[in-house]
Every structure is written in structure tokens, then in C-alpha cells.
Chains A and B, each alone.
Chain A
Amino acid sequence: MLKPERQTPKPEDQDEAFWEEIVRQHQEPVFRFLYLMLGDVEEAADIAQETFLRAFQHRSRWDPNRPFRPWLLRIAANLARNRRRALGRYWKALQRWVRLQSSPAEERDSLLEAAVRQEAAERLWQAIRCLRATDQEVLYLRYFLELSEEEIAQIQNVAVGTVKSRLHRALHRLRAVIEREFPELLEET
């Protein structure tokens, strides 16, 4: 469960020390969301860094009467979507190459062992990653970051009703993937 958000001062009252505090306060949810979306620690850290810089550069666009975190996560989500689109097949090929060609034999073995020992939560993540990006995003925000439907609506800039339908559809598709490929996830207690 993420820490509750503290009151954020108006943009004109903000200085560098304030922004450093903002990073400290929000870096965990931003990084975790990006890690779920991108599946790579270094990529997630890069885009998280970019998220905070963008937020600072566009701070005048933030409405101080609204919570800060959804606004920040909206920037993160946009950057993550762009990143996923940009990297595409080249990035996947590169990752495969690095993992399989560059790892020493023992490291490859440990990767395989880790795969065998995957926890249920990691298998759930695998299942979610079978879905389309929009489904993944809404599931991560709702169930991993535990945001309300109202907060998700602010992040995705849509009506709450749209979030409900997106969640409903994403859950339906996830259920189908789990029943087909990860049935043990439904059986475990």
C-alpha cells in the first residue's frame, strides 16, 4: 500500500528543496508503476527521472487544488507509452541478446532457476503482460498502485465511467489469459 499524499504547495511557492522533497515522496509509486509498465529497472529509473524533470518544467500546468500524484503519474504513463512504442522490436531483440549472449553460464542458470521459482505475483505480472498496453496500465494503477477509480480517471484524463469499463474489460481479458495459461493462480489460496 502506498503512502498517502501530503499537501503540495502552489507552484509559485515551490523551490528546489521543495522539488527534491517531491521526488523523495513520489519516487516509489512512480518507479514501481514504470517498472511494471516497462519491465526493466534501468528503463524505469530513467523514465522516472524524466517524469520528475517534465513535472518541474511544466509545473505551471498543475492545478494545486487537485492531488499531485495523479498528475505526476499521468506524465509517467505518457512517457512510458512513448517509450514502449519507440523501443519496439529492436529493444526486445537487444534485451534477449544481452541476457542470453552476455550472461556468464552461471548467471544464465540462475536466471532459469529464478524463472522456475517465480512467485505467484510474478506469474500474475506475466499474465498481465500478455494483455494490450491499455489494459495493463489500468490494472497496474488499480491493483498494484491501489489507486481509486477517480484517481485513475485523472491520470488517464477520462471519465470515471470510462475507467470502470476499461477495468471491467481488462479484468475479463486477464481472467481469460489466467484460465488458459496460468490456471494455478486461481487455485492458490
Chain B
Amino acid sequence: MEQRPRPDWEDRLQKLARQFPYPPTPDLTHRIPRRWAAPTGRRRWAWALGILALLLGILLVSPVRASLLEFLQLGAVRIRFLPITSTSMPAPIPSPTLIGTFPAPISTASPERAGLDLKGETTLEAAQAHVPFRIRLPTYPPDLGRPDWVFLQDWGGPVVILVWRDPARPDRARLALFQIGPGAFVEKFAPQVLTATTVHGRPALWAEGPYLMQTRSGRWELMRLVEGHVLLWTEGEITYRLETITGMEEAVRIAESLSP
């Protein structure tokens, strides 16, 4: 319904808008679960864990895995998989692959090199004053103590990075705990190991791979702080990411020791 005369240029605008080359609309009916209503409470977690385990099973053993799932979202962290194109010949099943693989070398930061090359170095107290959530520290292992380095970064939302030095090899970090606040968004690439587990009975992922982080110069670089694996889990609005040189069971134990 028109209520005022349209200048010529508005007609031109309309004409151009009609020529806009939209990408094809995906069929969303296939992306939305058939059970519309979400279960609640404990049942919801059991349901989510079951689905997660099922999806991971499919991902690891089925040739149709990526056609069913192009990414997995856990809190603020999204893991993308490369959609498999259909071929007439069955192919060997590789480990989960990814889109956006990076030709650039992935760096593992060295604490000895005048501290970590990460933007936002601060203290625990200063970081706490700037984030809208309580920064939690692991109480396991008992000798862990306070982190050796604390960083505060903005990934679309606040992210606190706590790093502990490896006492046996001071040139390496033994543990890095990311506490990713509301609004932050993380895209994870190159997961080479992917296993479903739980932290306090809630779904968690055990994965391997680097992350995009901001260096002191302000550049974003793909890096990991610890030469090991990563445990991902969420509690409330916070997504936790633990980089550790330990195995999965030990990582879960550290995750479940966060205070309070």
C-alpha cells in the first residue's frame, strides 16, 4: 500500500533490490528437530548427552556423518566439519575434517619468550573487575596455585585466559583455562580427536586443535597455548576451554575441581 509518491530514485532502488542475487534458501525443515518442544531439567541434559554421543558416533564411523551435521555447537564454541560431497565410490573414513583449514603454521606460544604473545595481559583481580561473571580457579591438582599469567580479551564478549607454567619444563605451559563469557563466539578448526565425555554429568567434548587468538600487536593468530588436548564444557552462560598436557580423565577431574 503506497501512501506517498515515490521519487524516481526510490523506484530505481526498488528495481535494484528485486535483482539482488540471493543465495539459495536452505531447506530449514531438515535442520529443525522433529520434536519441537525442548525437554527440561535433568531430562534435557540426558537427552542432549544422548544426542551428542549419537552424533559423535555417527561422525566417527559413518560415511554420511557430515551430511547430517556440518557443525557442532557447545556453548560459545562451534566445531565445523567439511560436508562430504556425494561420490559413487565409497571412500575411506578420515578423522573429522574441517572447513577453513589454515595453510599458515600453527604456533604454540612459549611462556619463556618474555611471556605469552597475547593481547590483554592483566592480573586476576583486574580481570575479575572487568568481567560480568566470577572467574573460577581449579583446586586440582592441589599444588596448582594461582595462574602464572592472566589475559583478558574481547571475542565479541569477554574472555579470560589463565595460564600455568609447567614446573618440569618452564619453557612450556602445563595448563590454560579459557573462561568465555556471554556474547563471545569461537570458531574452532582442525579437531583431530573428538570424544564425548561429561563434566559434572553435563555434555563435554575432548578435542585437539588450535584457536584464533589476539596477539599483543592486535593481530589474530591461530595458536594454542599448551601442546596437548582440549576439554570443552559449559556451565550456565560461561563456556570453559581447558588446554592441558594431561589425558582426558585428568582434564575432567581438573574441570570438576573449579571453585566455588
Contacts and interface: CB of A to CB of B under 8 A. Distances in A.
Given A85-B183, A119-B21, A121-B20, A48 B155 contact: no
B25 to A, nearest CB: 5
B3 A149 contact: yes
B142 interface: no
A41 interface: yes
B1 A122 contact: no
Interface in A66-113: 85-91, 93-94, 97-98, 101-102
A12 interface: no
A71 B28 CA distance: 18
Interface stretch (B30-38, B110-118, B163-171, B252-260): B30-38
B85 interface: no
B10 interface: yes
Interface in B121-158: 154-157
Contacts of A42: 70
Contacts of B20: 36, 121-122, 124-125, 144
A90 B156 contact: yes
Interface stretch (B53-61, B87-95, B96-104, B194-202): B96-104
A122 B34 CA distance: 36
A53 B32 contact: yes
Interface of A: 1, 16, 19-20, 23-24, 27-28, 31-32, 35-36, 41-42, 45, 48-49, 52-53, 56-57, 85-91, 93-94, 97-98, 101-102, 119-122, 124-125, 143-144, 146, 148-150, 164, 171, 174-175, 185-186
